[in-house]
Structure 1
Amino acid sequence: MEILRLLDRRDKFNKIIDQLKGQSELGEKEKQLDDLLNLVTNAGDNDKISSDQPFSELIKEFNQLMITKDGPHQKIANIIAELAKTESLRQPFVDGNIIPTLVKMLQSSDNNDVIQACRALGNICYENDEARNCVDENDGLQTLLNLMKGINSNNGTDVTKLRTVACGLLLNVTNTHELLQKKALEGGALDILEDYLKNHAEEEGLPYMVLLALDSLAETDFGRQKMVTCGTYKSVLDFMHSSKVNSAQDTTLDLLCSLAENDEIKVKLAESFLCDHLIQTIQSNSDELAESNQQQLLKLSSDLIVLLLTGDKSMEILFETGKGPVYKESVRWLESSCEYLQISGALAIGNFARNDGHCILLEDEGVVTKMLNLLKTQDNKEPNIPLLHAILSALRNLAIPVANKSKLYKAGAIEVLLNFASTPILPVTFKLLGALRMLIDGQEETARVLGRDKEFITRLVEWCGVEEHAGVKGEATRLLAWIIKNGKNAEVIKNIVRADGVQYLVTMATSEHYLMQNEALIALTLIVGSSVLDEAAMALKEAELIEVIGNLLKNQQTLPNIMANTLSLTRALVMAVSHRPPQLAQCTLLACTGMLSNMQSNVREELMCAGIPDLAKQLSTHENEDVRNAAEMLTNVLEEGPSVER
């Protein structure tokens, strides 16, 4: 039955076109147009006209009628507007050259003609850059702006509708089209839209379309900056403050979120009444049983507050040295029954915790305990990924100040965090590793707690080899190095060696990031100077440590500090093996035969083969004092032992 109905509609459509072409009298043509308008207006979503029908012939007929004096222009534009609701029919109208005629129609003295022309052009231009470009090539954008400006002070039902559809056309012409957005902004679009918002906010549907058009123009940095210069954000705030905003609250908040991407606007919004208004909105919509539209309002309001906190100056304004309403409200959100508010609270705290003073105050006021308690609620249940991500980010920031580290440890942060070490969700793992790394910085006891947890170390080494997430791989390797550096403990190093972590530290020494190189070299120096070198030796050999050392010393791009630390690592290695009893040491750095041999001789032989002694002598004249001193010290140590024939 459905197929028969569609075929019937197609037959009717084709018949109307044939009759339209066959008529010479304008009056008869209008009758056919009435039938066509009725057909396309009453079509359901699954009952649309398709472009495989004789569409090009119809467009030719439209073009002919549109240039006819006193022709049915309005009716044709109405039909085009209805047909162009179907995506596949928009491009044929562009190809059929109907756009120039519709653009001219925007200058008609009949408002109803202009309304239908706006509708037709707006629908053709929807998500269609070719149509938008064609409008621009025919001076359509400026014609539209002139029209909108001209009807600003006019009254009447038809003018009210015209203002709304004109805003809709501006939206569809400029949306996602950066060049046309810029042209509209330079052509005075902001002044026009602001006037509409101030003078006609009571008109049904108009504020909504104005806000959408402004949001489109605020997509780019240029647009947002223009709105700073023109003070457009003030008009939006004034509208929000009025009683007329109720029907467009979501759209207003969406626009303010777009504007708040600009740091200057962040500050202006933070200084305004906005956050008090948002807090009130949230408090009145935080009931979990609230309707979905109210929940959306809550989300947009809390999102906007968090966005304002991403700016340094706006964050300080809203923090008010720990006395600001936004700060107080954010802390309350941590204990809300609404998960979205919990997420917003954690994100807000993470943003407040961007300097040591704030972090210390937050810890003193018990925020850390609230965060840990919230994190505990996520254990042994289906994890809320955004919430975990937000809490772990905040805890990482809170753990940065030296004064907070031991307090977080005593509050049980390590135990709570380790409960999430088994998570398979890598973005959460990334934040977890960052928080742990900050907690052990300079904290020997905390580092040893992690290093002695063999299950965690095994997991950590696995993360060092994760290829799917570069951030996790980097953080895991850095944490491995930091555990060694801060733990300074043979048992900890042994656990890392036995978990096959050494290879990742050697690879880390070749990183393109200076900090990671340095951290790896320090960790490796502690390993070779420890009592577990014999156990680590084979891993160092297999990771080609000496080859890595040679490459770093040969590379003229190696930074002086890295060069000096590489020389110090080499010296520590030579000195360490020099004290191993020859009869007990395994040949694990040269190790080809698996037989017991003299480790000292083997190390010296490898160093000689890699040209390290010669490199050390060359570097003893380096322009950097630290490099010179380290090179001289290595040379002296090498010369103390027995020479190896070359």
Structure 2
Amino acid sequence: MKKPCIEAGLVPTLIPLLESTDQEMLLHAGRAIGRICYDNRNLQEELVKVGVITSLVRILTDYAESEPLIHVDLLALCNLAELDALKVQLVEAGVQEVLSEILLRLQGSSQAEDTCIVKAASDLIVSLLLGDGNCVRMVQVGLIHQLLDLLEKHVESGDISVQHAALSALRNLAIPVVNKVQMLEEGVAERIQALLRSEMPPVQFKLLGTLRMLTDGQADAAEILGQDPMLLTRLVQWCNTNDHSGVCGEANRLLASILRHNRSQV
């Protein structure tokens, strides 16, 4: 169905509709662009040239209270963010700040639509983590603690998809050394450890990967983690689990990292 739409020149027709003030029109146009351009590199490159990113980011700010429109817009941006040039445009358009505002606004909400928006925003953060510059900027605008607030809320409600998406974003944000230092100084490792009560393997896997990324090359962090009996107990359990090979592997890697970097004599 996508090919006939593309061949008929539908996409160039949709672009001007993004300037409409009719929210229903924006909703349908955004949904159509996201679906048609998914996994279509040539069309994504064409959209770079016509500046569709600026329009989509503007909609996020101009219609911040319209949950259906925000959700559709975020999904469209996620589909478009596969292309590096589009990621650059998104960053230049200030999407980090917009995502930060969205996550801040939806803290504490348990509505299904809001949960979908949070997951889409977290997925977009992961897609945008191209190069250290983007990662550093996202930490600077406060996305780390907003993601952690969401994680702490959803670990109680059991929404695995939100936890998984937020942990993926946190792990990637912890890659640049400058971010590791800032995240550790702001107590991110301690807050992540509070999620250890989760019994969901996908969450455990991402949790362990995030902690391992934070301690990579950071001896002080490894020393702190190495003195946490609850963490060490869980790591030993996960190292011997047969239920999820990914969890077992990450637990072994994190424990090895702690032992390698730990300078404590305790």
TM-score category by the smaller chain? 0.7 to 0.9
Determine which of 229, 234, 247 is the counterpart of 1:459: 234
Give matches, 1:171-186, under 5 Å.
none
Tell me the distance in 2 between the aligned counterparts of 1:214 and 1:481: 49
Determine which of 221, 246, 255 is the counterpart of 1:446: 221
Determine which of 252, 258, 263 is the counterpart of 2:41: 263
1:442 CA displacement: 1.0
1:391 CA displacement: 1.7
Tell me the distance in 1 between the aligned counterparts of 2:189 and 2:70: 33
Equivalence for 2:134: 358
| Structure 1 residues 254 and 482: CA distance shift in structure 2, 3 A | farther
Aligned sequence identity (%):
29
Give matches, 1:263-412, under 5 Å.
263-279=41-57, 281-282=59-60, 287=65, 295=68, 297-320=69-92, 324-337=93-106, 338-378=114-154, 381-412=156-187
Structure 1, unpaired ranges of 5+: 1-212, 219-226, 492-646
Check the 8 A contact 2:80/2:86 in 1, yes or no.
yes
1:385 CA displacement: 2.1
Equivalence for 1:214: 2
Secondary structure at the counterpart of residue 467 of structure 1: coil
Aligned length: 256
Equivalent AA in structure 1 for residue 206 of structure 2 = K
Check the 8 A contact 2:61/2:98 in 1, yes or no.
no
Structure 2, unpaired ranges of 5+: 107-113
| Structure 1 residues 453 and 298: CA distance shift in structure 2, 3 A | same
Tell me the distance in 1 between the aligned counterparts of 2:63 and 2:214: 37
Rg: which structure is higher? 1
Give matches, 1:508-523, under 5 Å.
none
1:430 equivalent to 2:205? Answer yes
1:397 CA displacement: 1.2
1:483 CA displacement: 1.3
Secondary structure at the counterpart of residue 196 of structure 2: coil
Higher helix residue share: 2
Tell me the distance in 1 between the aligned counterparts of 2:167 and 2:44: 25
After TM superposition, the score normalised by the length of structure 1 is 0.36
Check the 8 A contact 1:334/1:342 in 2, yes or no.
yes
Tell me the distance in 2 between the aligned counterparts of 1:271 and 1:358: 22
| Structure 1 residues 444 and 246: CA distance shift in structure 2, 3 A | closer
Tell me the distance in 2 between the aligned counterparts of 1:404 and 1:325: 19
Equivalent AA in structure 2 for residue 340 of structure 1 = C
Q: Which has the higher contact order (CA 8 A, sep 6+)?
A: 2
Check the 8 A contact 1:270/1:308 in 2, yes or no.
no
Question: What is the root-mean-square deviation in Å for CA atoms of aligned residues?
Answer: 3.1
After TM superposition, the score normalised by the length of structure 2 is 0.81
Tell me the distance in 2 between the aligned counterparts of 1:475 and 1:421: 14
| Structure 1 residues 360 and 251: CA distance shift in structure 2, 3 A | closer
Tell me the distance in 2 between the aligned counterparts of 1:350 and 1:392: 10
Equivalent AA in structure 2 for residue 268 of structure 1 = E
